[in-house]
Structure 1
Amino acid sequence: MPSHPVLVQPSGLRFDADEDTPLLLAAQAAGIKLPSSCRNGTCRACMCLMLEGEIRYRIEWPGLSRDEKEEGWILPCVAHAVTALEIQSLQAAPLEPPAPAPDRALTGARR
């Protein structure tokens, strides 16, 4: 499956998204956090502006008005890259690595 580079502004973060993976999941797999909630195109928490490129949706009509779509707004949770993309998401950030587990002896006893 073809893969396309995605540049996230204004952070400058980059990731690759193949055409079979929604942008949100591709970003997370690359260690980038984008805002999200429902992950099915209805809550609009992930809404961001597409500055360049082309996407497609696999659902009939995601939770955007016709005017919003014409202005370039997209929903990364259900959008798939068709070309290289440049998007604007003010809340994009690197994912925090998980905190290491506390170092304690396993005794088998409950506390």
Structure 2
Amino acid sequence: MSVDKNPTIFTGFAEPDARQFDAWSHQPLLMSMEQGGIDWPSSCRNGTCRTCFSKLESGQVRYEIEWPGLSAEEKEDGYVLPCVAYPCSDVRLDYAGF
């Protein structure tokens, strides 16, 4: 994992209640949500179990792993795994779990 020497703080929103959290560029969205007091479903924290599977309603993320547990179609449709997704902008997530 690369080290962000100058982390940026973005604004995140967790739907359906528009709960706001600080989304730091140097850590996964799940960690930022938890630090903000948001209890988001999670399990493996490495992008394989898909428990945190979410729809990125707005914003952009990046991954530091080659295969983040999403199909190309899911990525195209805007789905993310917050446990391994790092924000590149303000974000709005909606839990899309099964």
Structure 1: gaps (5+ residues): 92-111
Opposite residue 89 of structure 2, the aligned amino acid is T
Q: Do the aligned residues in 2 keep the contact of 1:9 with 1:90 (CA within 8 Å)?
A: no
8 Å contact from structure 2 (residues 55, 96) kept in 1: no
Partner of 2:50: 44
Deviant stretches of 4+, over 4 Å: none
**Any residues of structure 2 matched to 1:5-44 within 5 Å, and which?**
5-44=11-50
Q: How many residues align?
A: 91
Deviation at 1:30, TM superposition (A): 0.9
1:10-58 C-alpha deviation (Å, 9 max, x unpaired): 1111101111110001111111111000000000000000011000000
Alpha-carbon RMSD = 1.2
Normalised TM-score (structure 1): 0.79
Gaps of 5+ in 2: 1-6
Larger radius of gyration between Structure 1 and Structure 2: 1
**What secondary structure sits across from 1:14 in the alignment?**
strand
Corresponding residue for residue 3 of structure 2: none
TM-score (norm 2): 0.89
